Amino acid sequence: MTNEKPLVLLINNLETISHLFVNSLKLFFGDRIQMEAHFGLQPITQEQMNQADLILLSDIKLLDDQPKPPAHVPILVARRTIDLNNLDRLMDLKPGTRCLFVSNTLEMVEGAIELLRHLGFAHLSFIPYVPGTSTPLPKKEEVDYAVCHGLPELIPAHFDRIIELGHRPLDLTTIFDIARLLDLSPEKANLYTAEFISDFVRLGRKLTNSVRNERQLNEKLESVLDAVHEGIIATDASGNITVMNAEAEKILKLSTHESIGKRVQDVLPEFQVHMVLESHVEAVNQLTPFRNLYLLVSQVPMMLDGHVLGLVISFQDVTKVQQLEQEIRKKSTQLGLMTKYSFDHIIGCSPSTQANRLVAMKLAESDFTILITGENGTGKEVFAQAIHQHSIRRDGPFVPVNFAGLTESLVESELFGYEEGSFTGARKGGKMGLFELAHNGTIFLDEIGDAPLSIQASLLRVLQERQVMRVGGHRVIPINVRVIAATNRNLVEMIQRGTFREDLYYRLNVLPLKIPALRDRGEDIMVLINYFLQKKNKVLTFSPDVEELLLKYSWPGNIRELENFIHYAVVIAEGNRVELCHLPEQILLAASSATMPSEPEDLEETIDFLSRHGALHEYMSILQILASCSKRQERIGRQTLNALLPVPMTDAQIRQRLHYLSRTGCIEVGNKKQGTRLSAYGFTLLEKWKARV
Ligand SMILES: Nc1ncnc2c1ncn2[C@@H]1O[C@H](COP(=O)(O)OP(=O)(O)OP(=O)(O)O)[C@@H](O)[C@H]1O
């Protein structure tokens, strides 16, 4: 080098750009370099070329008409970025807005358009225009705005709507290249970086307001967006604060004005920055108590050629998140997101129950999807909970979803959540879906056979991609959940009828678990009866004929029905002894084969009979309502029944339907006070009909 201070020769075609470069370099290198700026048509001598330690130019063509620089002098073509502060006017433009982009060379125009597209403005329609070249000039009405980076004088006078983006400053990578080529320790680089960060932050803040619905934000701008929600502090190598954004000011309740220039160690001792400054190793997402807040702090050293230039500290206030998490935990217990059952609660000594318990324990150790099949009340959910309890996810949530209880319109938003404003009535702040709620835990998809086809498609996607998108949202949310599905339907038959997706079935049926009906595991009946009695702290004995009947009965409601029977027996039995006369009607009825038609002809006959005496679906709606009441061991009157029907009937109609249901043995109609209830035969008929549709 010819001089103590390296000399940078700047060659530009415009004075304004030349100033911009000089200012950037001054900011970065202070007075440790000398600069000689040439612009426009000013001639450069060979001697000036020879004295330079570095030549920086905005366009390599500018050297064409100049003396040749010596071979040892590095030549750098400046990479330029966009002045982020001027971008907001472009952000307000609607997709498809026609923008005439004007500059003095085609390269400049094309480079700028490419950068803008890259920055997420691909939705605007740019028309390049360079006066005096072959680029055609469109008519005024074909253009909405004329856009330029400086040089507004190049825009033809009749275009009156102009967006001036300002000159493009030097890109940070160019600054770093200069530092490297001149072997300078870049002590003010952090200041430049800080300036840049604060511009980014400012831009990001604008973005949050104007580009909310733009999907085309590229990664860079997304990270800007993220930055906006964070507090950012940058320091120099000794920890002096050089920048602090508004969010930081807000979170820390410190004024930027008073903090700039002070040592971050003194202002924020809680952050313990000396560790990162000394070790040069970043510290990410540290939960840091700060006064009465919890902050999630990341500290990243800015390095150049092994030197630390400073530190960027970003942080978020997660006090609310912490509280929220606690609240969710609290609520999860109330909502039943915690499991009640473990394998110890699975009672039964039949070979099938014992085998299933062992199989399920094995399944619990894997993380694959499980499909549990079995009739109503056989204990599918009990098994699902026990599996969750026994798995590595036991400390995570267990989220049950019952598809039978969800209307089609609700299913999607319940499962996947929604963003604020995505539909009328959408809650402020949006809502988390059940899949998100089950993150790191297990989701139990109960009665999966009742899921509408449209939802089956969405479920399949979630199972394949392990991510969800909220209704009305643009973000994909990765989820880590184990899926356990259950059904009492015959899914294979449903596939054949086209009501269940085959691909979803194979996704779910990875590990199948079949729970037999209670009637097929007679050994469990008395064991379960004793268990339920014990739970109620009661002792009952059963006469031999009662015991025989209980073993003979078909228990269409399975263990749930058995449990209900025990509640009933405890109330009804005189003393501790249960005799035949204490048994509920449906059990007694089932005992008499005369009143209990045999499968399957009679069921078909009954269905046929009913369909000749009215609409079959009306009969089935009645049976369905009675079935849900009988699960709760309730009887129901005509009026209540009518109120629960999807389409109300006249009293005469309902009377008639009940009459035929009673004649075929599907229901038992008691006196006024006793109301109506479903018989075991009715249960079977309903199941059969359900499996058909
Ligand atoms: N093996 C078992 N030991 C003890 N209790 C059981 C067992 N299986 C089921 N139960 C009890 O039976 C009732 C019904 O069980 P669960 O809800 O798991 O059945 P399900 O098959 O999921 O029913 P549905 O298909 O109607 O949702 C529960 O109250 C549960 O306590």
Ligand 1, residues 343, 536, 559: which to mutate, most atoms within 8 A of Cβ? 559
Query: What pLDDT is attached to residue 26?
Result: 82
Question: Where do the structural domains in the chain lie, given as residue ranges?
Answer: 7-77, 84-164, 188-317, 335-514, 518-591, 601-692
> What count of other Cβ atoms lies within 10 Å of the Cβ of residue 162?
14
Whether 562 is in the pocket of ligand 1, judged by its Cβ within 6 Å, is: no
Whether 524 is in the pocket of ligand 1, judged by its Cβ within 6 Å, is: no
Which atom number of ligand 1 is nearest to the Cα of residue 487? 25
Distance from residue 561's CA to the centre of ligand 1 (Å): 9
Q: Does domain 188-317 have CATH number 3.30.450.20?
A: yes
Q: Which residues, at least 6 apart from 63, have a Cβ–Cβ distance to it below 8 Å?
A: 11, 55, 57, 69, 75
Sheet holding 7-12, edge to edge: 34-39, 7-12, 54-57, 75-77
**Protein residue with its CA nearest to atom 15 in ligand 1:** 379
Distance from residue 515's CA to the centre of ligand 1 (Å): 10
Which atom number of ligand 1 is nearest to the Cα of residue 348? 1
Taking only Cα atoms into account, the Rg of the chain, rounded to an integer number of angstroms, comes to 38
* Strand blocks (E) in 507-585: 511-514, 541-542, 577-578
Whether 339 is in the pocket of ligand 1, judged by its Cβ within 6 Å, is: no
Distance from residue 558's CA to the centre of ligand 1 (Å): 8
Which atom number of ligand 1 is nearest to the Cα of residue 446? 27
Whether 382 is in the pocket of ligand 1, judged by its Cβ within 6 Å, is: yes
**CB of 580 closer than 8 Å to CB of 546:** yes
Distance from residue 378's CA to the centre of ligand 1 (Å): 5
Whether 507 is in the pocket of ligand 1, judged by its Cβ within 6 Å, is: no
Query: What pLDDT is attached to residue 143?
Result: 93
Whether 379 is in the pocket of ligand 1, judged by its Cβ within 6 Å, is: yes
Whether 35 is in the pocket of ligand 1, judged by its Cβ within 6 Å, is: no
Tell me the Ramachandran region of residue 575: left when phi exceeds 0, alpha when psi lies from -120 to 50, beta otherwise. left
Identify the CATH class of 518-591.
Answer: mainly alpha
Query: Environment class of residue 201 by beta-carbon count within 10 Å: exposed (0-12), middle (13-18) or buried (19+)?
Result: buried
**Is cis: bond before 600, omega within 30 of 0?**
yes
Which residue is listed with tokens 């309740």?
253
Distance from residue 560's CA to the centre of ligand 1 (Å): 6
Find, among 392, 491, 384, the residue nearest to 443 by Cα.
384
Distance from residue 381's CA to the centre of ligand 1 (Å): 6
Ligand 1, residues 560, 633, 687: which to mutate, most atoms within 8 A of Cβ? 560
Query: What pLDDT is attached to residue 326?
Result: 45
pLDDT digits (tens, 9 = 90+) for 374-388: 999 999 999 999 999
The one-character DSSP state at 217 is: -
Whether 556 is in the pocket of ligand 1, judged by its Cβ within 6 Å, is: no
Q: Which residues of the chain are modeled with pLDDT < 50?
A: 1-3, 186-194, 201, 204-205, 207-228, 322, 325-326, 328-330, 332-334, 593-600
Which atom number of ligand 1 is nearest to the Cα of residue 402? 27
Distance from residue 596's CA to the centre of ligand 1 (Å): 26
Distance from residue 68's CA to the centre of ligand 1 (Å): 89
Whether 374 is in the pocket of ligand 1, judged by its Cβ within 6 Å, is: yes
Whether 347 is in the pocket of ligand 1, judged by its Cβ within 6 Å, is: yes
Task: Name the fold adopted by 601-692.
Answer: Arc Repressor Mutant, subunit A (1.10.10)
Query: What pLDDT is attached to residue 377?
Result: 93
Whether 446 is in the pocket of ligand 1, judged by its Cβ within 6 Å, is: yes
Angle at 64 between CA 176 and CA 174, to 5 degrees: 10
Give the type of residue at 337.
Answer: L
Find, among 414, 419, 359, 349, the residue nearest to 383 by Cα.
359
pTM for the complete prediction? 0.46
**Protein residue with its CA nearest to atom 29 in ligand 1:** 560
- At the second CATH level, the architecture of 335-514 is 3-Layer(aba) Sandwich (3.40)
Whether 518 is in the pocket of ligand 1, judged by its Cβ within 6 Å, is: no
Whether 174 is in the pocket of ligand 1, judged by its Cβ within 6 Å, is: no
Whether 564 is in the pocket of ligand 1, judged by its Cβ within 6 Å, is: no
Query: What pLDDT is attached to residue 410?
Result: 75
